[in-house]
Amino acid sequence: MELISIDSIKTKSSYLRVETNIEKLKKSIETVGLISPLVINQNNELIAGGRRYSALKELGVTEVPVYKVEKSDEEQELISIDENLVRKDLTKIEFEKCLNRGKEIYEQLYPEAKKVADEDMQTEEGINIQDTLPNDQRSFIDLTAEKTGLSKKVIKSAIERDANSSEKVKEYRQHGELNASQTNEIIKLDKKDQDKVVDLVKDKSTKEVKELVKAIKTKGVDQAVDDVLFSPSIPKEYKSIDTLTKRINKLAAKVLLEEMNSDHDDMEKILKNLTTLRNHVDQMLMLNSKPSSNSTLPEPEYTMNPDDMNSSEENHTSF
């Protein structure tokens, strides 16, 4: 470690966070000093510590402690990525990009690590095999999980989203028009097909995106898109009603099967709400009945099987 003039440090790396909010960091440096020195290369280019650099600059510090390292371009980039992942909150897209690029560089530098599975393999004594290996043989995902406290599954999914998303999908995610769950489904398609359907899926549920992706793999993208565009769609209110109705029916079946009754004061309100619900249901049935049909609506069947019972217990929360 050595002291150098802060004005001699160059800030060229795209990974540096030199324009973020540093007020709290400035107060910390004023109170306890600079705990972690800046990291620079042999050309005095800043590799890690962009926010610390900015804070020191604003505080008027003229000489700063630095670690000067002699590393390859790839190693320097990996240091910058590691600094970002551990020390600074990133947007979801930036985080995924850093993870994916970090894994790519790490596996170039340490090819033996690519041969190590990312899953939690254990010895007979119950020790994680990854923990018994030297760092240059441990997987990038394992090391990153240890540094960040995130699960390997979360890190792996983030890497896959960045690696497999088209640029258009990334743009939609950047603007908040696609969430991670929707993206996890759409990236199962090749990038050309992603671009063709991204406008269709941005307002759909994850389940609907999953069904569309499945249809594309079966019918091809053009036919599947035509089906979505020209097939009549069910109003979202009916979809919500369908989901709630299934839950209500299971709970009602349990109440009837066990002949539940209650004298609680709230029962009057509950029964009043049920009466209102019954009136609404009757009107909806009339609204959707076909005038030409001579068939009558089926009588309700209050039967309960073990699956219903279990599901009722799981879904006992209010609606």
Q: Report helix, strand and coil shares of the chain as percent, to nearest 5.
A: 60, 5, 35
Q: Does domain 2-72 have CATH number 3.90.1530.10?
A: yes
Q: Which residues have a Cβ under 8 Å from the Cβ of 149 and sit 6 or more positions away?
A: none
- Give tens-digit pLDDT for 144-185: 888 888 888 999 999 999 999 999 999 999 899 999 999 999
Amino acid identity, position 59? L
- Count of beta carbons in the 10 Å neighbourhood of residue 84: 21
| Whole-number CA gyration radius for the chain | 29
- Give tens-digit pLDDT for 50-84: 888 888 988 999 999 998 988 888 988 888 888 88
Domain boundaries, the chain: 2-72, 90-164, 171-233, 236-287+300-314
- Give tens-digit pLDDT for 220-263: 998 888 887 676 677 878 888 988 999 999 999 999 999 999 99
Q: Provide the 8-state DSSP code for 2.
A: E
